[in-house]
Amino acid sequence: MNIDRIVLAFAGFAILLSVVLSQFHHPYWLYFTAFVGINLLQSAFTGFCPLAMILKKLGKSSGTAFS
């Protein structure tokens, strides 16, 4: 898997997990959902993604979005 797919999979997992936690634990988990969504939106325009930078340093292959 390349960096693009890992970032998208991680974001999807984080959003689903935080929604479930907001229903069963505390509604403040929705702030984490908003944070992930805002980070995805800004990375679409700027190309800056902290997770992509970490994965690149770990040696994962680049995709087309985060090169």
What are the residue ranges spanned by the domains of the chain?
3-57
Distance CA(4)–CA(19), nearest Å, equals 23
Residue 66 has pLDDT above 80, yes or no: no
Residue 67 has pLDDT above 70, yes or no: no
Confidence at 17, pLDDT banded by 50, 70, 90: very high
Confidence at 47, pLDDT banded by 50, 70, 90: confident
**When comparing pLDDT for 23 and 62, which is higher?**
23
Work out the mean pLDDT of the chain and round it to a whole number. 92
